Every structure is written in structure tokens, then in C-alpha cells.
Amino acid sequence: MKAADAHVAEAKVDRPFPGGPAATRDGKIGVLLVNLGTPDGTDYWSMWRYLREFLSDPRVIELNKAIWYPILYGLVLTTRPQKAGANYAKIWNRERDESPLRTYTRAQSEKLAAIFSDEPRILVDYAMRYGNPSIASVVKKMKEAGCDRILTFPLYPQYSATTTATANDKLFRALATMRDAPAVRSIPPYYNEPVYIEALARSVENHLASLDFDPEVVIASYHGIPKAYSDKGDPYRQHCLETTQMLNERLGWKEGRLITCFQSRFGAQEWLQPYTDKTVERLAAEGVKSIAILNPGFSADCIETLEEIAQEAREIFLHGGGKHFSHIPCLNDSPEGMAVIEAMVRRELLGWL
């Protein structure tokens, strides 16, 4: 054997098996649950700070800043904080003095930490893309606690640049300030994962079984995005439609009982249709007397589900002639919801544990 060949053969023999070193590393692994965000209070300035951060995100508002910022600072931020604060006040967790989204996301984090309590290398925490606790602050805390790897979990089942992508953007901006940044993985969208579809189906079945009426129509209402974003290639709409289709197949319902709609539009441009509020109004006008609405695009109940759907949509339907309305809660920190989070985290930790 030539000397060069012998050297190569020796190197191959001495080289450790792939994945070997990772299994023996001493560093901790951070698991970071990330949700959309929340204001710190319902007062004007708390809402102003939250809305400024949210509506300044170029992933959310794709208009040129020279056009958008005069509108944002000259009109939106002078009028919207007061109205938004009043809406938040309707659903505010007064016992903890915080929004329900923060309450539920913290609970998800605490329950996931309990699930991994026998693994001392796992550190679980949560953060918000907008508001507090910020992604940067929690990543810093994880790094200081000894985490050299972080698994981030954007809690959005369906992918959109306005949600999943901007959460990951914020994470990497935080890492850009670190000289010794941890390795990172991001859990992919889970809109068609069997564990997620099963959890949704069970939540629907359990909730409907508790009602004293049988809804004629059930609406799967997802947060909307501008139609232009979808036209440019954002896969969100298709993800939502696939979730509804798979859920309907799992429930075994006839075609047309479960329908997809989109809510929470903002501004004058066209958003994904059909719109939830207009559909609820139409159903009532057509003589439908009982409906239920669930929000498969939200991992936890928040202003868009508890106020916009459970209150506003209910009022629209009953005022239009409907008789029975029910809002099906999000998965939140329920056993079904935690089963989804645990399954996705365990899968994505493979190779690190």
C-alpha cells in the first residue's frame, strides 16, 4: 500500500462515528417556544409600543417605508392603540395582569419543562416575537445558562412569512450580536402532522359533545394575510386548506359542514377570502341557526380568538338571526395541545439527545 493510501485508511479508521461527539457534549439544549406577541398592558402607551413593533415589521407590512411610515405614525398609532386597548380589556387576564396569550404560552412552556424534567440538559422557556419576554432576552438567558444548542419552536401550524419567518428572523438577529452563538434548529410547520390533526379532531369532538345543539356549519377560521402575499408565493393559504381537508377527513363529516375562512384583515387591500365575518353574516341571512367556529391556525387563545371570534362573530351571527353559536377553544395547554408540542420537540431533538 502506498504511504498516501495508508494515511487515508488510517484517518478513516480513527475518525469517530457521525453523531458521536454530539451525544457526549456537556452543553445544555434550550427549547424555545415562540408565539406572536402581546402588549404589556391595555393602556394607550403599552398598546402604542406593541403596535409600533408589530406594524413596523417589513414581513408584516410590505409597503415601502416612505409610504407606510407616515400612515403608521400619522394615523394608525394615533387612533388604533385606544381601540385595541379597549378590545384587549375585554379578554385580559386580570388575576395575572396579562394577556391570555402570555398565560397560555407560559403554561405550555411549564408543562413541556415538566415533561422533560428527567433530562437535566433540557432547558425550556418561551418568548414573543413582539413584546415581552423578547426573543433576544430569552436567548441570552439560555446562553448564560450553558445552552450551546437551541431548538426554536414557532408556534404557528401553518407557515407564513408574516409569522414563522419573522420569528426566525428575530432569533437570528439576536444571534448576530453574539460572538459565541449557539447552534440552532427550527421546528418546521406542522399543519399536516397526524398528531396535530388528531388533536384538533379530539378537541372538536369533545367540545361539540358538550353542547346542547348540533352545529349545522363549523368554520375553521384562520388569521388572514394580504392576497398579494399569497400571490407572491407565501404557502399559507394552501397549508390552511390542507389542514381543514385533513381535519374533515378525520372527523368523517359530509362535504360542506366544515368550511375554511380567514379573519383579522387590516387596511384597504384585499386579503385571503372568504372573510370570516362576512361568512357568519351570510350564514345567518340564509337561515342557518347554529354554527361553531374553531381557530386551527392559533396554538393558543388570544385577542383574535377570544374577542374577534368568541365575542364579535357571535354578535354578528345572533344579530343576523342565528340562534346558537359556540367558539371551540384553541389547543392551548390541554393534553391534546401538549401532545402536539411534545411530539414535535422530541422528533426535532433527535441527534442532539
Instruction: Please provide the distance, in angstroms rounded to a whole number, between the alpha carbons at the two ends of the chain.
Output: 40
User: Does residue 110 belong to any structural domain of this protein?
Assistant: yes
DSSP string, 139-175: HHHHHHTTEEEEEEEE--SS--IIIIIHHHHHHHHHH
Helices 335-348 and 194-209 cross at an angle (nearest 10°) of 180
- Same domain for 170 and 44: yes
Checking if the pLDDT of 151 tops 70, the result is yes
Residues 6+ apart with CB under 8 A from 63: none
Give me the domain span that covers residue 95. 32-189+335-348
The whole-model pTM stands at 0.91
Is 4 part of a structural domain of the chain?
no
16 is a domain residue: no
- The C-alpha atoms of residue 314 and residue 291 are separated, in whole angstroms, by 9
Q: How far apart are CA 192 and CA 110, in angstroms?
A: 26
What is the per-residue pLDDT across 255-292, written as a single tens digit (0 to 9) for each?
A: 999 999 999 998 889 999 999 999 999 999 999 999 99
What is the overall mean pLDDT for the chain? 94
> Max alpha carbon distance in the chain (Å)?
90
**Cα–Cα dist 296/220, whole Å:** 6
Residues 6+ apart with CB under 8 A from 260: 219, 220, 222, 240, 241, 244, 274
Least confidently predicted of 4-8, 36-40, 121-125: 4-8
Quick one: average pLDDT of 19-34?
A: 74
- Environment class of 242 (CB within 10 Å of its CB; exposed 0-12, middle 13-18, buried 19+): middle
Report H helices in 260-310. 276-285, 303-306
Q: Which residues, 6 or more positions from 91, have their beta carbon under 8 angstroms from its beta carbon?
A: 99, 100, 303, 306, 307, 311
C-alpha cell at position 342: 411534545
DSSP 254: P
Give the residue from 20, 26, 101, 39 showing the smallest Cα distance to 333: 101
Instruction: Tell me the mean pLDDT in the region 19-48.
Output: 85
Q: Are residues 108 and 201 in the same domain?
A: no
**Residue positions counted in the chain:** 353
- pLDDT for res 22: 45
Q: Report if residue 25 sits inside a domain.
A: no
Based on the domain organization, do 220 and 250 belong to the same domain?
Answer: yes
Whether 10 is covered by a domain: the verdict is: no
Whether residue 289 sits in one domain with residue 170 = no
Across the chain, the runs of DSSP E, i.e. the strands, are 28-38, 122-131, 147-154, 183-186, 217-223, 258-263, 290-294, 324-328
**Given pLDDT bands bounded at 50, 70 and 90, which one contains residue 99?**
very high
DSSP 45-86: HHHHHHHHHHHT-TTT--S-HHHHHHHIIIIIHHHHHHHHHH
Do 51 and 155 lie in a common domain? yes
pLDDT at 185: 97
Residue pair 326/211 in contact (Cβ under 8 Å)? The answer is yes
CATH number at residue 86: 3.40.50.1400
Same domain? 259 vs 177: no
Residues 183 and 206 both lie in one domain = no
Together in a domain, 300 and 341: no
Distance CA(72)–CA(47), nearest Å, equals 14
pLDDT digits (tens, 9 = 90+) for 87-96: 999 999 999 9
> Does 218 share its domain with 178?
no
pLDDT in tens, 108-133: 999 999 999 999 999 999 999 999 99
Whole-angstrom distance, CA of residue 22 vs CA of residue 4: 30
Looking at the structure, tell me whether residues 62 and 204 fall in a common domain: no
The arithmetic mean of pLDDT across residues 70-91, rounded, is 97
Confirm if 45 and 139 have CB atoms less than 8 A apart. Answer: no
- Give me the helix-helix angle, 166-175 and 135-144, nearest 10°: 50
CA distance 280 to 341: 31
Q: What is the Cα–Cα distance from 164 to 161, expressed in whole angstroms?
A: 6
User: CA dist 3 to 9, 11, 15, 283, Å?
Assistant: 10, 12, 18, 82
223 & 162 share domain: no
Number of H helices, E strands in the chain: 15, 8
> Among all chains, which residue has been given the C-alpha cell 422528533?
347
Give me the number of domains the chain comprises: 2
Over residues 177-201, the pLDDT tens digits come to: 999 999 999 999 999 999 999 999 9
- Has residue 216 been placed in a domain? yes
pLDDT band, very low/low/confident/very high, at 16 (cuts 50, 70, 90): very low
Q: Is residue 14 part of a domain?
A: no
Q: For a pLDDT cut of 70, what percent of the chain falls above it? A: 93
Is residue 24 over pLDDT 90?
no
Is the domain of 81 the same as that of 222? no
Tell me, what's the pLDDT at 25? 60
In a domain, 19, yes or no: no
